Amino acid sequence: MRRLVALFLTALVLATLAPQAEAQTSEPDSRVRAQKPDSRLRGVGKRVVFSTGAGDARPSRFVIVRNQGGGTMNVGPVTITGTNASSFSLEDPAQDTTFSLGPDEVQNVEVLFDPSGAAGRYDAVLNLPTNEAPAGTVVQVRLKGLNADGYEMELEPTLYKILTTLGYEPGVGDPNRFPDGNLLPGLTYADEVNAPFWRKRKAENKVSMTPLGRYSTVTPNSCCIAGWFEQGTGTRHELQRFPGGPPPDGGENQKIFPEATGRIEFSPPGNFGVYANNEFSDQGGRPFRFFRARAINGSFRPGLWIVVQDQSGGDAPGMVKNNDYNDFVWLLRNARPA
């Protein structure tokens, strides 16, 4: 018995001292994410979204590549493929086509959107080959662009084009989904909820209302106060304002992902509604409509909603309600109908 124990202990020591090749191998491990504010999107695939109007130049966007492994990660050659690949390009091909990253190093791959002039949606794929295991791994990021005919009214993109560019399509697969045009005021579409008031879905978390799009009347000054109000008291709580100015550079209008001053998170104590300027979610005429934030593949996350508004006055003289419901688009998170 002693001899067997001794042999067993000797084998155990030798096994412990032997090199553990597999355990010691450091493999690269990439993480690729889009530049903010693409992180505002929830429930859709990895994508970088661009928008412009009348072919106006807009800022480039970034895809951030990080090596989270212990070894060197080689990336490249980076390519852009897909239906509208020629409308997207690397800002600095010499730097971003092929590069190497050490552990925890980061590279910003800068992408430009230059549509051909035709209005509509643009689609391509950014391909990032790496030496990450398994061999031949290619990380792909969708590039989505929206080019409007121009500014205001019939020159604006439809709500359908805005949402599908972002990756959402409420009612996908349902003949009652909203159309590629104006929404009928007397019809309730698939994935739509007629709810003037809302409340937290999870009491321990905050609610957020994130601007996804603004295709409203061009205004010279900061405008369009948006926020939430308490059911019962009507007390307003301002969240956001949007800078004004002439296109293309002067204001946060006629674009996807408008920049707003203020905040997006709030913690209502009970039931709440939403408002913008002098319009409220509990008033007649349906200035606001609410849709489940269903992705194009049909999936959705509970507590995630698309809020759209069709303004009927208050921002500029002569504004009329036209039922396009693309004046403002928000993503409402951690909410349920009251």
Within-domain flag for 198:
yes
Q: Is 119 in the same domain as 157?
A: no
- Give how far Cα 323 sits from Cα of 222, 244, 291, Å: 24, 22, 15
Statement to judge: residues 185 and 109 lie in one domain: no
Based on the domain organization, do 238 and 108 belong to the same domain?
no
Q: For residue 88, is it within any domain?
A: yes
Separation between Cα atoms, residue 321 and residue 60, nearest integer Å: 34
Report the C-alpha gap between 175 and 189 in whole angstroms.
Answer: 9
At which of 107, 132, 148 does a domain end?
A: 148
Q: Of the ranges 6-20, 57-71, 190-204, 222-236, which is most confident?
A: 190-204
- pLDDT tens for 144-170 read 999 987 677 778 899 999 999 999 999
pLDDT digits (tens, 9 = 90+) for 46-101: 889 999 887 777 888 999 998 888 889 899 999 999 999 999 999 999 999 999 99
Are 41 and 75 contained in the same domain? Answer: yes
Of the pLDDT bands very low, low, confident and very high (cuts 50, 70, 90), residue 252 is confident
In this prediction, residue 262 has a pLDDT band, given cuts at 50, 70 and 90, of very high
Q: Are residues 169 and 128 in the same domain?
A: no
Region 127-133: mean pLDDT is 86
199 or 135: which leads in pLDDT: 199
Indicate if 98 and 222 belong to the same structural domain: no
Please determine, for residue 296, whether its predicted confidence score (pLDDT) is greater than 70.
yes
Helix then strand count (H, E) for the chain reads: 4, 24
Determine contact, residues 145/315, Cβ cutoff 8 Å: no
* Domain final position from 148, 177, 212: 148
Residue 182 lies in a domain: yes
**Measured on CA atoms in the order 314, 315, 316, 320, is the torsion positive or negative?**
negative
When divided into structural domains, the chain yields a total of: 2
Question: How confident is the model at residue 179, as a pLDDT?
Answer: 94
The answer to whether residues 140 and 30 touch, using CB atoms and an 8 Å cutoff, is no
- Specify the range with the lowest mean pLDDT, choosing from 68-82, 183-197, 240-254, 266-280: 240-254
Residues 179, 86, single domain; the answer is no
In a domain, 216, yes or no: yes
283: in domain: yes
What does the alpha-carbon distance between residue 303 and residue 334 come to, in Å, rounded to a whole number? Answer: 5
How are strands ordered across the β-sheet holding 61-67? 30-34, 61-67, 106-113, 88-90
Other Cβ atoms closer than 10 A to 153: 11
- 133/158 same-domain check: no
Residues 195 and 320 in one domain: yes
pTM for the whole thing? 0.85
Provide, rounded to the nearest whole percent, the portion of the chain with pLDDT above 70: 86
Please tell me whether residues 264 and 131 are part of one structural domain. no
Residue 22 lies in a domain: no
How far from chain centre, in Å, is Cα 170? 15
- Highest averaged pLDDT of the listed ranges 54-68, 259-273, 303-317: 259-273
23 located within any domain: no
* CATH code of the domain containing 75: 2.60.40.10
Which pLDDT score is estimated for 145? 93
Q: Tell me whether residue 165 is in a domain.
A: yes
Among 120, 148, 176, the domain boundary falls at 148
End-to-end Cα separation, the chain, in angstroms: 74
Residues 36 and 142 in one domain: yes
pLDDT at residue 29 in the model: 73
pLDDT of residue 219: 75
Same domain, 171 and 129: no
For residues 17-44, average pLDDT? 62
Domain that holds residue 121: 30-148
* Strand partners for 295: 168
188-207 residue pLDDT tens: 999 999 999 999 999 999 99
